[in-house]
Amino acid sequence: MSKFKLEEIKDPSFLKYLSVHDLEILASEIRTFLIQSISKTGGHLSSNLGVVELTIALHYVFDSPRDKIFFDVGHQSYTHKILTGRASQFSSLRQYGGLSGFQKRKESVHDVWEAGHSSTALSAAVGMALARDLDGDRYQVIPVIGDAAMVGGESLEALNHLGMTKTKVIVILNDNEMSISKNVGGVSEFLSTLRTSEAYNHAKNEYREVLSHSKSGKRFYAFSSQLKNRMKNHMIDAKLFGEFGVDYLGPIDGHNFHELLRALYKAKYMKGSVVIHIKTKKGKGYPYAENDVRGAWHGVAPFHIRSGKPLHEITGATWSQVIADYLYRIMAEDVNVVAITPAMISGSKLEKIFHDFPNRAFDVGIAEEHAATFAAGLAVAGKKPFLTMYSSFLQRAYDQINHDLARMDLGVVLGIDRAGLVGADGETHHGVFDPGILKPIPNLELFTPATAKEAGWYLKQAFQKENGIHCIRYSKHIACDHLPFTRPTYPGQWQVMTDRHASNLLITYGYMVEEAVAFVETNDLDMDVVNARYLKPLDQPFLKQVLLSHKKLVVYETDLKSCGLAKDILGYANDLNIKVDLLSFGLDDHYVTQGSLKELLHHEHLRFEDILEEVKQFIQ
């Protein structure tokens, strides 16, 4: 029988009256709740199981919302949500109209920051702390950042700024040796050396215990402690954090309340900024997640708790898998092709490539900017890079794509994963901005396949070109493999998918082409469907012919209308001084919420059944 009724928790104040034993019971019950709840809704499992004790300890020592406790990225904030009164909403986690999978300022006064991309927390913390100082206030600012996110350039920039100031921030370094998959890089190795001091810390405790039994022993211990502290400050703090002018505590066992509370109270009463190095076990309490080194249990769909298997088996290959399979075949034939990912091996289905081509597959960690310029360096030296990024993360590498790749006209293939509406992760992850970001860049083409065969053809011919960025964008959904595919005879050529000899055209691209064909044929509309597979360059020969024929055009897209295909077509028609009758469907100028694809399309009035009557009236 549970001791705590999690659904009845209103705020964290009750924690102040609990013993350590009670806190341990609470942690166990929260962990059980998370496993049971996420098994039904899906969500970020491993990261949340790893920070249960840490989150409880933070709310025990500090006073939220006056003290600002927040998480870098935010997908590991589930225990924080429970302790701040939202356990009863977990049945709606990441669902349309439900509880967000990230911290959300609109949800609670305890959510002071929100982000879906990593390495932002330290910058925000420095800003909050300096604003506090300017106001003469005294609350604490406590960002929780993972060891992988600490590698991010923005984190190091913020750490450098923090060391230059006299403000105070308590940085919680959550070290689980994982980001989504296994961490890589020099900072990861540095933290590993700090972890080895656990044996030293254990020996230190025994040493103190032995010498405390006599006066001479106590005096010798005091002298040796001063010497030890000087050595430790020189050998450990100065390695990284000390060089930034920030104190260091740790490493601390992130699942031991005695150690956690001692370290947090010490940091609370220190005058300056401090990094507390907390060691946690990602996935703790659920064996499948604990033993996962590939990142399969990072973000999960609903699953059977006992077997660990998904509740709903996926039928068919996802677009990520299709792209990875074609890339594998190309790499097997061409030793100059290399693959690059910023910490998304599992998400982009690159496991087999990394296993079979270890010397030509590079995981650079959470470092999109570096990944792009690294690809440029490889291209300059004669290699053929395939750089894959999620669309929403690509935003962080705009300058490198523009300045370092396109400006030098280097030959790189850019795989834009998770393009379009992605679903449950919500507004920070929808891939709807990349067309507007990329289309203005010279020496770049943007391809959006409607079928797996189309994707395979494009990848193969893209690697044969010496210059230019060849972007292929694809969704997270199941790939289509049955629509007809005709190879372009010139760069940018679109494909007419139906042969209805209609008076009107429905123009769309990517994963929505399949549904567009079904929409036209099911409703027997006087329309032919055009697969606008090239968003750049436009198929100007085809468009000119269509515009001169004065056919009515319906343009349907699930990206932003403000920088979409319809605007490009209208701009081209204006250049030709041709009036066009065009009806446009797409996303308006706002951020899109979370939910299933069907729910989001309905919310945005973009389901084909929602637009049927409007289309019928338009083409009459």
**Phi, psi at residue 442, to the nearest 5°?**
-65, 165
Tokens 């702390």 sit at which residue? 129
Rg (CA), the chain: 27
Which residues are marked as active site?
Answer: 282, 368, 396
Tokens describing residue 47: 């990261």
Tokens describing residue 291: 């033993």
Tokens describing residue 21: 């034993």
36: number of CA atoms within 13 Å, CB side? 7
Please tell me the distance from the alpha carbon of residue 324 to that of residue 342, in angstroms, as a whole number: 15
Please tell me the distance from the alpha carbon of residue 515 to that of residue 388, in angstroms, as a whole number: 26
Collapsing DSSP to helix, strand or coil, 302 comes out as: coil
Please tell me the distance from the alpha carbon of residue 556 to that of residue 611, in angstroms, as a whole number: 10
Tokens 């935003």 sit at which residue? 395
Strand (E) or helix (H) holding 143:
strand 141-146
Burial of 227 from C-beta contacts in 10 A (0-12 / 13-18 / 19+):
exposed
Tokens describing residue 475: 């969704």
Please tell me the distance from the alpha carbon of residue 533 to that of residue 508, in angstroms, as a whole number: 8
Q: Given 3-state DSSP classes, what are the helix, strand and coil percentages for the chain, each rounded to the nearest 5?
A: 45, 15, 40
Strand (E) or helix (H) holding 542:
helix 540-549
Preceding omega of 358 cis (within 30 degrees of 0): no
Collapsing DSSP to helix, strand or coil, 23 comes out as: helix
DSSP state of 603: H
Distance set, CA 441 to CA 341, 557, 569, 595 (Å): 22, 21, 18, 32
Collapsing DSSP to helix, strand or coil, 331 comes out as: helix
- Residue pair 497/530 in contact (Cβ under 8 Å)? The answer is yes
Tokens describing residue 274: 């401090």
